[in-house]
Amino acid sequence: MTSLSDLARDRTTLDEHEILHLQRLARVWGLLADLSGADLLLLARAVAPPGRFVVLAHVRPTTATTAYTSDPIGRSFERAHRPTVAAAFDEGRMADGQVRLAATGDAKVSVRALPVRCAGKVVAVLSRDAAGEVEAGSELEGVYRRLFDRFAVMISAGEYPFPRDEHDQYKAPRVGDGLVILDEERRVDYASPNAISAFHRLGIHRHVVGRRFEELGFDEQVVRAAYSSSLPVTAEVERGSDTTVVMRCIPLLVEGTPTGAMIGFRDISELRRRDRMLLSKDATIREIHHRVKNNLQTISSLLRIQSRRMESSEAKDALEQSVRRIGSMALVHETLAQDPTDGDGTGDEVRFLDVVRPIVRLVEEGLSSPEKPIHFRVTGDVGVVSSEVAMPLSVVITELLQNAVDHAFGRGKRSGTVQVDLVSVATGVRVVVTDDGVGLPADFDIAGEVGLGLTIVQTFVVNEMGGSIAMRRGDGSGDRPGTVVELEVPLAGASRAPTVTRI
């Protein structure tokens, strides 16, 4: 769908400030459609063909039947077919009339056209198109129509929409949620049945008409702020732990001065109850991850104590490798405990780069030394991954780093560089570990390897995650060709056959 701004730039002469004014109107005019019980069209004068008006935006009411079963946005009308729109634009005043639409079986549609002013200039026309006569069949409908008329005056005077975006509009009450009208003295002039129910849920059972909020035992700060600033103000009002109501006060202006206000009420008690449940669940999951991390660190400490009692260097090395494997898993739990990034309270996803960097530091601190200075680098980012991927993949990276230090730099070469590249691919995540060590033996075959490190890598990548492994000699020359290990694992929803490749 073409946006309002695109249509305005392509087919009108409106400048950016005027387009922004119309965008603000279109963001809040669902309220006006419901109050009027009619469709609203926003029309501006088209560049070509001349003498026509183009529809920039359209909104249907939720309180009445629409006059447009198809989308009118982008259509253009000749002046003769929309005389009320032409009159409102040319003369800068409201105009009433009727038109016949083919979409309504050629039935008459009642039209009220309002000039939309921006900085004192008529830049567009708001057309209220109602299928049939606009009649107030009840007291509430009569209040709605009179409210629309007050907003219409503000639009024609350039006082509505307000000169700043209403960032909290997403949680604004709807017309049917509950409506209160205040007079110039901030006294209740009218309260709808749903608004009375909202007062009752907040513990206010007194007769409200003719009284100020403060006389009802209700905090009047929101009302005072709206009247003093001549801008809408939204706040959440709580009564106890079970009742939360959104209150939105919109001042009704005449020449910049509030002559009353419209207050909408919306009961969001159930939404806040669910929010509290999610927060509680999130806190519980974080605590679980924190405890698992602590338990893993305790196991690591016990293994280190055992290692110091060992006399065999091979046994000590095996325990130290186990400590690093456990440490990589603890890092994932620590990251999940600090910042679950999925936002749904499950704590099931983690930014993988925040896991890889500490793992690399852990290996570097444990295996690099002044006698064997090995430098580690991490490049790229794959964003957020699930814990089901992060946990085994972190262990795999730890194994590959240990393997590089032990083999690439363990046969005569005492210094070098290991680089970890993280790449997002269409099917999932690619991890490339590259070193500038002695390279793979000529007869190397990963399928025939029985070492613990590569066995762990194959088990996690191929069997558990359904991924693939490729190992080859690097592009270096002489005695330092290096080694390249490339892993690719699918993320949730991706499907690929597991493979082990020797290149």
71-127 pLDDT tens trace: 999 999 999 889 999 999 999 999 999 888 765 555 788 999 999 999 999 999 999
Give the tokens for residue 19: 């387009």
Residue partners of 111: CB distance under 8 A and separation at least 6: 82, 84, 85, 96, 97, 98, 99, 127, 128, 129, 130
Task: Tell me, yes or no, whether 310 and 438 share the same domain.
Answer: yes
Q: Is residue 162 part of a domain?
A: no
Give the tokens for residue 121: 């200039």
Among 129, 156, 183, which residue terminates a domain? Answer: 156
Max Cα separation, the chain?
Answer: 101
Task: Tell me, yes or no, whether 292 and 437 share the same domain.
Answer: yes
Could you give phi then psi for residue 493, rounded to 5 degrees? 95, -20
Lowest mean pLDDT among 57-66, 130-139, 395-404: 130-139
Residue partners of 147: CB distance under 8 A and separation at least 6: 35, 181, 252, 262
pLDDT higher than 80, residue 446: no
Q: Give the structural domain span for 496.
A: 272-502
Mean pLDDT comparison of 246-260, 323-337, 433-447, 455-469, highest-scoring range: 246-260
Cα–Cα distances (Å) from 230 to 115, 168, 173, 205, 313, in that order, read 22, 16, 19, 30, 79
Average pLDDT, the chain: 82
Across 305-415, where does the E strand assignment appear? Answer: 349-351, 374-380, 384-386
Lowest mean pLDDT among 15-19, 145-149, 266-270: 266-270
**Can you tell me whether residue 204 is helix, strand or coil?**
coil
Q: What proportion of the chain, given as a percentage, has pLDDT over 90?
A: 32
CATH number for the domain harbouring residue 212: 3.30.450.20
Q: Is residue 164 part of a domain?
A: no
CATH number for the domain harbouring residue 108: 3.30.450.280
Helices (H), 171-267: 193-201, 221-229
Does the model's pTM come out above 0.75? no
Lowest mean pLDDT among 28-32, 40-44, 363-367, 491-495: 491-495
Question: What are the strands of the beta sheet with 243-254, ordered from one edge?
Answer: 188-191, 179-182, 257-267, 243-254, 233-239
Distance of alpha carbon 488 from alpha carbon 503, whole angstroms = 15
Task: Tell me, yes or no, whether 333 and 465 share the same domain.
Answer: yes
Of 315 and 113, more confident: 113
Distance of alpha carbon 258 from alpha carbon 256, whole angstroms = 7
Nearest to 26 by CA among 7, 53, 45: 7
Q: What proportion of the chain, given as a percentage, has pLDDT over 70?
A: 83
Q: Is residue 78 part of a domain?
A: yes
Task: Tell me, yes or no, whether 179 and 241 share the same domain.
Answer: yes
- Where does the pLDDT of residue 501 fall: very low under 50, low under 70, confident under 90, or very high at 90 and above? very low
Q: Position of tokens 């980012």?
A: 381
Task: Tell me, yes or no, whether 117 and 235 share the same domain.
Answer: no
Across 132-224, where does the E strand assignment appear? Answer: 179-182, 188-191
Report the number of distinct structural domains present in the chain. Answer: 3
DSSP states of 49-72 as a string? Answer: STTEEEEEEEE--SSS--S-SS--
What are 269-303's pLDDT values in tens digits? 777 777 666 666 666 666 776 777 788 778 878 88
Q: Is residue 163 part of a domain?
A: no
- The arithmetic mean of pLDDT across residues 189-204, rounded, is 87
Among 156, 185, 206, which residue terminates a domain? Answer: 156
Q: Is residue 474 part of a domain?
A: yes
Task: Tell me, yes or no, whether 12 and 149 share the same domain.
Answer: yes
Give the tokens for residue 386: 């699930």
pLDDT higher than 80, residue 165: no
Among 156, 185, 220, which residue terminates a domain? Answer: 156
Distance of alpha carbon 124 from alpha carbon 29, whole angstroms = 14
Asked if 34 and 175 touch (Cβ cutoff 8 Å), the reply is yes
- The arithmetic mean of pLDDT across residues 325-329, rounded, is 75
Q: Which pLDDT score, from 0 to 100, does residue 284 have? A: 65
Q: Is residue 451 part of a domain?
A: yes
CATH number for the domain harbouring residue 491: 3.30.565.10
Distance of alpha carbon 355 from alpha carbon 381, whole angstroms = 11
- Where does the pLDDT of residue 167 fall: very low under 50, low under 70, confident under 90, or very high at 90 and above? low
Q: Which pLDDT score, from 0 to 100, does residue 445 have? A: 72
Distance of alpha carbon 27 from alpha carbon 99, whole angstroms = 26
What are 458-495's pLDDT values in tens digits? 888 888 888 888 888 887 766 678 888 999 998 753 33
Task: Tell me, yes or no, whether 260 and 276 share the same domain.
Answer: no
Task: Tell me, yes or no, whether 151 and 69 share the same domain.
Answer: yes
Task: Tell me, yes or no, whether 263 and 278 share the same domain.
Answer: no
Q: Is residue 479 part of a domain?
A: yes
Q: Is residue 297 part of a domain?
A: yes
Task: Tell me, yes or no, whether 136 and 120 share the same domain.
Answer: yes
Q: Which pLDDT score, from 0 to 100, does residue 137 have? A: 66
Cα–Cα distances (Å) from 119 to 11, 28, 163, in that order, read 21, 19, 11
pLDDT higher than 90, residue 260: yes
Report the Cα 425 to chain-centroid distance in Å.
23
Task: Tell me, yes or no, whether 119 and 13 share the same domain.
Answer: yes
Residue partners of 74: CB distance under 8 A and separation at least 6: 2, 7, 54, 55
Task: Tell me, yes or no, whether 263 and 290 share the same domain.
Answer: no
